[in-house]
Structure 1
């Protein structure tokens, strides 16, 4: 069983519990109306989605003592275009409380980074104030992805649609995704290769579709490389979470477009 399959199996149990316990009507809803698409498509600099991530299956504990609200304020101060909050608990040690805490502190778009397999997770993300939700092509059938994509957009949320290969990109384009995340990390082997972004971005009309390169962004050279492919945004997790000098890390990665 791959790590992705393990995560999805656990997520199915989580969703079953959520359907019994979560009541959207009784939730104090936070606002969700900040457009990642508009912000990133009109920017003169490489847009950074800075991620709050305590741990990962491939790296183990990364920054277990992070205070999400403080980290988010630093991200915003140093130039993040958006913030990704990993809310999966078993594998990434996150929570929806992390997302709520971040939303209350910052004025930039918030991505709920999780493994979404059901509409109730989209309801929960929206109620917690997420502006964007993640859909992963490798996680579900094209039919189910279309249903969840339509559900999220009808609720007023943007969707970051994550792909890793040619077949998944075709699904994203058929569905009509306007924000496509190209994950340079293979979710089955966890190997990272920036050539994935170069190969797939070449097949996307980047004048209308926002392309985000995910995973493996460590140096200015990495960012310049994906910029040449037409990428306008990068998602940076581990590099940010391990950085002792966030101001310098942002300065290094925020190249001019």
Structure 2
């Protein structure tokens, strides 16, 4: 039986085939300069830096119109207005869903958001090829998501190295303990613990604590999925994350004025993580 993730990845492989015919992307990958202006892209804003400072949880506020598990989330979807609202509300960074087929997002949404906010931007997508990373850089992303469940260890290393070569930070996502060693070996800018199983879409907040028990204390980490209330954020803080990625709860806010107090309620006090100080090569098999 085909899982959600397998269906999504098949779609991504088809999208990458289309990107191979993009002359602007091919030009950028060869020259490192914008295909229209001929100039190098502006330096990336530090995604990791935005998350690791402060004594309260950083909130990565997500812009998404829909999801396979929840259907349509935002009836009056306006990425520009939402991004401005997030920035004014105190978000540390913004995640923009760019998957079209399953989340109704687009790279155009990312480009629009880049024009109106100064916060670091994460391209949230199922990235399997360097072309998608180049596309993210040209669109104004400061960081990209790399999902361990979607990539072999060698491919993860290749894509991570390419992203870093472009100045992008990497959010390397794990869900299962056995994915952790491969994730840490690529020296992720930020480790993301997805509380959602991408094969079944089931969510368990206990996942974050399980993973971080075996993660070096020095590794910047955030929790993804399932954070809907301040109590959820507090549970993640107790696990030792630096921040939380929150999408659905914010996108379902009644109006723009409700976003600021809601977002602030997730910014609970951080806790020092009592993790391991070992290197990636010493991660136990768990």
Q: Distance in 1 between matches of 2:12 and 2:162?
A: 19
- Runs of 5+ unmatched residues, structure 2: 28-34, 271-286
TM-score (norm 2): 0.87
Q: Distance in 2 between matches of 1:170 and 1:69?
A: 38
Once the two structures are superposed, residues 76-124 of structure 1 have per-residue CA deviations (whole angstroms, 9 ceiling, x without a partner) of 0001000000001011101111001111111110000011010000000
Give the counterpart of 2:209 among 192, 195, 198.
198
Higher-Rg member (1/2): 2
Q: What are the within-5 Å matches in structure 2 for residues 222-233 of structure 1?
A: 222-233=232-243
RMSD: 1.3
Once the two structures are superposed, residues 29-76 of structure 1 have per-residue CA deviations (whole angstroms, 9 ceiling, x without a partner) of 763511111121112221001000001111111114311011000000
Q: What are the within-5 Å matches in structure 2 for residues 136-215 of structure 1?
A: 136-206=147-217, 208-215=218-225
Contact preservation (8 Å) 1:30, 1:128: no
Contact preservation (8 Å) 1:32, 1:130: no
- Runs of 5+ unmatched residues, structure 1: none
Q: Tell me: CA distance 1:240–1:138, structure 2 relative to 1, closer, same or farther (3 Å).
A: same
Q: What are the within-5 Å matches in structure 2 for residues 1-257 of structure 1?
A: 1-24=2-25, 25=27, 26-27=35-36, 31-206=42-217, 208-244=218-254, 245-257=258-270
Runs ≥4 in structure 1, deviation > 2 angstroms?
A: 24-32
Q: Distance in 2 between matches of 1:27 and 1:10?
A: 29
How many residues of Structure 1 are paired with residues of Structure 2 in the alignment? 256
**3-state SS of paired residue (2:171):** strand
- 196-205 vs 171-180, which moves further: 171-180
Contact preservation (8 Å) 2:79, 2:113: yes
**3-state SS of paired residue (2:239):** coil
Once the two structures are superposed, residues 205-239 of structure 1 have per-residue CA deviations (whole angstroms, 9 ceiling, x without a partner) of 23x21111000111111111111111011001111
